[in-house]
Amino acid sequence: MGVIYIMWLRQLKRYWRSKSRMIGTLGQPILFLVALGFGFGAIYQKAGGGNYLEFLAPGIVAMSILFTSMFNGIEVIWDRQFGFLKETLVAPVSRIKIMIGRTLGGATVAFCQGILVLLISIIIGFRIENFMDIPVALIFMFLIAILFTAFGTALASRIQDMNAFPLIINFLIMPLFFLSGALFPLNDLPRFLEIIVKINPLSYGVDGIRGALTNLSSFGLFTDFFVLAVLTLIVGGIGSWMFSKIEV
């Protein structure tokens, strides 16, 4: 447990020391909330969808967690480049514990990022349906953070080029985000798009957060939780195995 705690604490310190990184990761979610929330609000309301900001905010919270989680993996490549990873891996501790510590640290950072975006959403006009359901939303937010932090770390353990990693992550992130139902309702979609949305793991995270905060859910909270929990265990296990085989 000591190794896990040390790696978790190290990830937190590394992030919170970088003020520019903190500000930069908040810029995109705020832009989406303001530009889309107010820009398309009138059109969405005329179409009978209600308040678009109420629909959009949970998706943007999930987006901020997704981006921060996935890009956390680049620190593995950075540590490999500068020798810190080698020093860590030669220590007489389990690599799986190192992976767990890194994942929990990155997930905690992404989770905090999601809370900040949620608070900003409330400030600009988002209203939570029932404040008693906030803990449920927080559970979904943390599951998203763990799932995609583990996924990003697993990818980074197989990529040695620091320039290639952001390109690959962006290639994966954009379809995950845009095809998750974060920006549009999942009702009456074309069949092929409906299948893609249901395959997308982020769809269940977005739906879970939205269901908890606004009582609008397409799949049901139990289904959302079950799918996310199972995928988190699977990806975490695969990621731990891949990280245990990493070469420095």
pLDDT beyond 90 at 84: no
The maximal CA–CA distance of the chain, rounded, in angstroms, is 63
Classify each residue of 109-119 as buried b or exposed e, where b means 16 or more C-beta atoms within 10 Å of its C-beta.
bbbbbbebbbe
Instruction: Provide the residue range defining the domain that includes 238.
Output: 2-244
206 — pLDDT class (breaks 50, 70, 90): very high
Q: Say which residue, 153 or 84, is predicted with more confidence.
A: 153
pLDDT beyond 90 at 137: yes
DSSP 3-state percent helix, strand, coil across the chain (nearest 5)? 80, 0, 20
Domain count, the chain: 1
Q: What is the pLDDT of residue 13?
A: 59
Return the CA Rg of the chain: 18
Region 106-132: mean pLDDT is: 88
Task: Give residue 110's Cα distance to chain centre.
Answer: 6
208 — pLDDT class (breaks 50, 70, 90): very high
Q: What is the pLDDT of residue 230?
A: 95
C-beta of residue 63 within 8 angstroms of C-beta of residue 69: no
pLDDT digits (tens, 9 = 90+) for 90-111: 666 676 777 777 788 888 888 9
Q: What is the pLDDT of residue 234?
A: 93
Residue with tokens 């249901």: 198
